[in-house]
Structure 1
Amino acid sequence: ADNAELTTVFDIDAQVNAEVAKKFDARQAASISDLQEADIEAVYIATPANLHGDQVNV
């Protein structure tokens, strides 16, 4: 989208996290805590839908 910017990525697999961050020139969050501390206005959760509720509540 023209009005959005990917700034931070997080994956529990450190190698995947690094690869995706590099591919999209984004910061790697090392933990959920890093995401909570970042200046993030929106989150895209790429996991099965049944897991979203627990992840959003973090």
Structure 2
Amino acid sequence: MIDQPGQGRRVPEYDGDKDVREVFVHRWRLIYAVYPDHIRIAAVIHGARLMENVRPL
């Protein structure tokens, strides 16, 4: 993620102005925001959890 932050897909539930992406690792969904000089991990969510129960960025 650090070397190629754009490799994750855009989060379909997020319709904001930030570049928010996700990658899946086993049963976990890692959601992160991409900034010009860093990334910020926004959430690590179990894949079975509904996104409507997760608070927004």
* Shorter-chain TM band: under 0.3
Structure with the larger helix share: 1
TM-score, structure 2 normalization:
0.27
Larger radius of gyration: 1
TM-score, structure 1 normalization:
0.27
Q: Which structure exhibits the higher relative contact order, with contacts defined as CA atoms closer than 8 Å and separated by 6 or more residues?
A: 1
Structure with the larger strand share: 2
